[in-house]
Chain A
Amino acid sequence: MKIKYFLPAVLGLTLSAFAASASADEVSDFYAGKTINVIVPAGPASGYDIYARLMAEHFSNFMPGKPTVIVQNMPGGGGLKALRYYATVGKNDGTELLLSPQTIGTDAALGLLGGAVDVANFNWIGRFTTNVPVGVVSEKTGITAAEQLVDKEVVIAGTAARSPSIVFPKALNAFAGTKIKVVSGFPDPRQSFLAMLQGEVDGLVLGWSGLKASNQEMLDSGELIVLFQGAASRHPDLPNVPTIVELAKGDANQAAMRFLASSSGIGRSIAAHPDVPDERVAALRDAFASMLDSPEFTDAAEARNVELVDPAGHDVPQKLVEETMAIDKEVLATVRKTLGL
């Protein structure tokens, strides 16, 4: 390298290092003494809430300025309430973060969010875990594999019209040729679960991590059989259970399934408002990544039985949402029709 390039290069490097430390100081100054609210789209002790609470305890240690982190529960409208609140009146300076409802991408593509929510430009921070809903049936049905659903009718209990408990069975009927009868209107998945134990229905769709935490016994004894998982790739616990994408027949149907399954990939991910300044977004992402890597965090998660499957940086949820929103028009139309939208 010649001297005439060397000097400016050194100068440039020095300057940018200054700039970087100046912006780190700025970020640190900004967050010092402040509070970061994590908006949770569900109630206390829910499958979303446990992640936000864990973050509230640890995130501060990795964040410049050590802001206090608190959790605000905002359940309602299948996650839409929190999302709309965050997008419209939430703070956009980086002191408020959203634990995103996992259907954010599909809801946006299906046009359920309204114009005010600019999902495409959300600043993703990172993902704690994937969250996979699974389809289970009682052993009394005699069904042991998802393929049998094509020949034999089973009755599945579901909750609200747009929840995975109804969306996935309906999608299987449309794209994999199954004969599932969906009975909707159960107040929550645990209630559907009880109906299965009572023999009123044959099975249901519910989150794998919750099922594992509360009903491991029945899984071990074979009383419950997991038939399919609502994800694009198999959960490490369930290497022998097919995904709904695998069950779909033909490219177009698989594309539709991949679209719906994207929600479990988004799982439990944190997003920041589109207007948050870049340097704060960068600091938030770094802090999140360091937190996921730290043993204090992972140990606490393990102690509390909080599952961390494929934790990831911001690029994973970002890419998933982009892909989901870029869905082919025709496929989207089929999905809309299947869901009765």
Chain B
Amino acid sequence: MLEAAIDAFGIILDPSRFGFLSIGVVIGLVVGIIPGLGGLVGLSILLPFTYGLDPYAAIAMLLALSAVVATGDTIPAVLFGVPGTVGSAATVLDGYPMARKGQAGRAFGAAFSASLVGGLFGAGILLVSIPILRPLVLLVGPPELFALCLFGISLVAMLSGANRLKGLAAACLGLLLATVGDDPNTATSRWTLGTLYLFDGIPLVPLALGMFAFPELADLLMRGGSISADRKPTRLNGQWQGIKDTFGNLGLVVRSSALGSALGAIPGLGASIIDWIAYGLAARTTKGADKTFGKGDVRGVIASESSNNAKEGGSLIPTIAFGVPGTASMAILLGAFQIHGIVPGQAMLTDKLDLTYAMVWSIALANVLGAGICFLFANQLARLALVPVTILVPGVLAMTLLGAFQAGASVQDIYAVIGFGIFGMVLKLLGWSRPAVVLGFVLGSLIERYLVISYSLAGGAFVLRPGVAVILAVTLLSILLPVLKRKHRASGSKAERAATIPKIQINTKALLGPNALFAVGIAILFVYALFSQMAWPFTARLMPMVFATIGLLFSVGVIFQALSVTPPQTKQLSTVTEEDRVSANKAAWRGVRFFLSCIAYAFAIHIAGVLPSIFLLMLYLLIFEGRQKVGLSLVIAGAVVLASYGLFHLLVHLPWPNALLGDIFPALRDWFPSDIV
């Protein structure tokens, strides 16, 4: 065995194979960095180029790409608060606040080193589990998956921010949104509005990009200046501090990596929930996390980043052992296996062991190389946090819009990303947790799926399976323990407690306040959901009904909370000067105009096409909002559009929707860049 491992190392280090591996790493980092693009896009671009390679080189290149996406996607998450892929959404929660505090370098140092350790850990897990691969994968069936997802949703309290009740209502909203689409069991169309777009459910990429990216971009524009809020030069030596952070929290790194590998190895969960669960678990188990997580705690970044790199090694396990891909990227890799005549199964653990080890080495080397490249450029990247936001925001916005569009190649993706962007902004302003919505969303369909499957397989008895019972017990304990602890702590000083509880007294003025109105709106949405599903078959309406009912209860709670009188917080009011108010007003208008221009963009794509309209949108934001020089603005917008054309048109072959301009002047479609109108 050792011999096979050493042989495999030699095979991968062959200069030409190592060259292909390096190409894979570079492309993986790039697709990771560009919001909305991820391993799936990268692999599908690269796959045709591997036809002519030998299997080792082909698999090394594809695996290398896939392995480092989770390293690259950290960069926009930290710098702009925009997750590079859906797998790094949880990195935003602490990474972005760190950049705002001028600690982008430290966040990068921690993230890259955590990614490296996580990636190596995942490769290591793959290595040691090779002899026992097959029984391992067979351990987790649909009932256990259901229990795991319930555990995941129990972590929502950690992601709820300051207001638990709002967080829980938000999670229910996410769960409910996940039930939109064609029900697999009864073929009932659930809230698809008669469109094919919603047939497969609301797509995750526009939802996650919209909810996270837009509010942060709007916020940056409103505030002006640069990302690093204190405008001090970002401490570039922070990287070293970040590395020290990672190794100072080695326990956390190992825990998160183990979790990432394990969840990656379980087919049917998907990459998008791994970072959330790792983050939530870290928030629950690390000391003092309730005060610092979400406000720029480096440990949040470490947990998320080590887990999402570790998943790669894990997700190869079921792919190799049974030909069952652990994640969506692995499904493409499985296709590549077929093309190169690699047959998953027992032979991979006996005759073809060198190939299996070559995969382990590919992942390990790719992680080293990927992290190395990132460290090399981290200083330059961290400087981006000092670039005026008036230049950065239009560019990042353009990539976000196009990233959302390429995910499903339909104009509805653009409507969706803008719609979720506006919704996310409202949530942010009113203190509703966006992470809670996204967590609910990524887990909602899984919970429903595996509950229905488990129930139809074994009836209610499935909860008695040992694995299920253990996971459910842990879930219950992890919910109850903090509550009991708090009770215990508080019981000593009843009088004190009574004093802090606000008196329930309805404040009628608050009834028309945005907080109460929004909560009422959400409650109405839940009520609508309950009524509109009456006619569906039972299996189709069961989970939507459960989610909506619980959501309704929580949102009614939020309404009462908004109406109840709380101690007045007048402290700040006195210090607000007329000047402050004027500038706050101006900023608010900038935010409104930002969203209006996005809405205008959604209309413009039908007249001038997706790409030309991006050009116009960028020019507007650069010249009129950013007060940049016309020449510079033309250069920036032109460069972004040309690069996008190269990437999306020439490489990804994205079909651009027909626009009015092209219908009227068909000759335009033959010009360079062709077919974009």
Contacts from A to B (Cβ < 8 Å): 37, 39, 43-46, 49-50, 53, 56, 70-74, 76-77, 80-81, 84-85, 89, 155, 159-162, 183-188, 190-191, 193-195, 197-198, 200-201, 210, 213-218, 304-306, 340-341
Contact = CB atoms under 8 A, between A and B. Distances in A.
A155 B322 CA distance: 21
B663 to A, nearest CB: 11
B384 interface: no
Given A72-B653, A161-B187, A215-B344, 7 more contacts: A184-B185, A187-B449, A190-B324, A200-B142, A201-B457, A216-B343, A340-B187
Nearest to B337: A214
A161 B186 contact: yes
Nearest to A215: B323
A214 B138 contact: no
B655 interface: yes
B182 A191 contact: no
Given A160-B182, A185-B184, A45 B47 contact: yes
Interface stretch (B327-335, B499-507, B560-568): B327-335
Query: Which of A43, A44, A155 has the most chain B CB atoms inside 10 A of its CB?
Result: A44
A76 B323 contact: no
Contact of A76 (B40, B199, B343, B456): B199
Given A184-B185, A185-B185, A44 B457 contact: no
B230 interface: no
B338 interface: yes
A39 B653 CA distance: 10
A49 B335 contact: yes
Given A44-B332, A89-B658, A191 B267 contact: yes
Interface in B299-356: 318, 322-325, 331-339, 341, 343-347
B150 interface: no
Nearest to B45: A44
B431 interface: no
B54 interface: no
Contacts of B187: 160-162, 340-341
Contacts of A210: 338
B408 interface: yes
Interface string B132-159: 0000011001100000000000000000
A45 B332 contact: yes
Interface of B: 40, 43-44, 47-48, 51, 137-138, 141-142, 182-187, 196, 199-200, 267-268, 318, 322-325, 331-339, 341, 343-347, 408-410, 449, 452-453, 456-457, 653-655, 657-658
A48 B267 CA distance: 22
A44 B322 contact: no
Contacts of A76: 196, 199-200, 408
15 contacts: A37-B653, A44-B335, A45-B44, A45-B332, A45-B338, A50-B335, A50-B338, A56-B48, A72-B655, A76-B199, A77-B199, A161-B184, A190-B334, A201-B457, A214-B345
A84 B408 CA distance: 14
A77 B196 contact: yes
A185 B449 contact: yes
A190 B345 contact: no
A39 B47 CA distance: 17
Contacts of B345: 214-215, 217-218
Query: Which of A71, A186, A216 has the most chain B CB atoms inside 10 A of its CB?
Result: A186
Contact of A194 (B322, B449, B653): B322
B676 to A, nearest CB: 13
A190 B267 contact: yes
A45 B336 contact: yes
B148 to A, nearest CB: 15
Contacts of B267: 190-191, 194
A195 B199 CA distance: 25
Contacts of B346: 217
Contacts of A340: 186-187
A44 B408 contact: no
A190 B318 CA distance: 11
Given A72-B655, A161-B187, A185 B44 contact: no
B336 A185 contact: no
A191 B343 contact: no
Nearest to A84: B196
A207 B267 CA distance: 20
Nearest to B675: A35
A44 B338 contact: no
Nearest to B338: A213
B335 A45 contact: yes
B144 to A, nearest CB: 10
A44 B40 contact: yes
A306 B267 CA distance: 25
Given A215-B345, A304-B339, A155 B457 contact: yes
Contacts of B332: 43-45
A198 B196 contact: no
Nearest to A200: B141
A168 B274 CA distance: 35
Contacts of B337: 214
B186 A77 contact: no
Contact of B51 (A84, A200, A304): A304
A160 B184 contact: yes
Nearest to A185: B184
Nearest to B537: A340
B48 A53 contact: yes
A80 B198 CA distance: 12
A71 B452 CA distance: 37
B392 to A, nearest CB: 32
Contacts of B655: 37, 39, 72, 74, 85
Nearest to A70: B653
B449 A190 contact: no
Contacts of B186: 161, 340
A84 B196 CA distance: 9
Contact of B409 (A74, A184, A197, A214): A74
Nearest to A201: B457
Query: Which of B142, B183, B318 has the most chain A CB atoms inside 10 A of its CB?
Result: B142
Contacts of B40: 43-44
B287 to A, nearest CB: 38
A194 B196 contact: no
B199 A80 contact: yes
B185 A80 contact: no
B657 A89 contact: yes
A305 B338 contact: yes
A201 B322 CA distance: 16
A43 B409 CA distance: 12
Nearest to B181: A77
Nearest to B62: A45
A44 B331 CA distance: 9
The 4 closest A-B pairs by CB, nearest first: A45-B335, A44-B44, A161-B187, A214-B323
Contacts of A77: 182, 196, 199-200
Contacts of B408: 76
A36 to B, nearest CB: 11
Contacts of A190: 267, 323-325, 331, 334
Contact of A217 (B137, B183, B196, B343): B343
Contact of B344 (A53, A187, A214): A214
Contacts of A161: 182-187
Nearest to A182: B456
Contacts of B456: 183
Query: Which of B184, B199, B347 has the most chain A CB atoms inside 10 A of its CB?
Result: B184
Contacts of B322: 193-194, 197, 215
Nearest to A341: B187
Nearest to B270: A187
A279 to B, nearest CB: 20
Nearest to B195: A77
A89 B410 CA distance: 11
Given A161-B187, A304-B51, A195 B141 contact: yes
Contact of A45 (B318, B331, B347): B331
Contacts of A80: 196, 199
B317 to A, nearest CB: 12
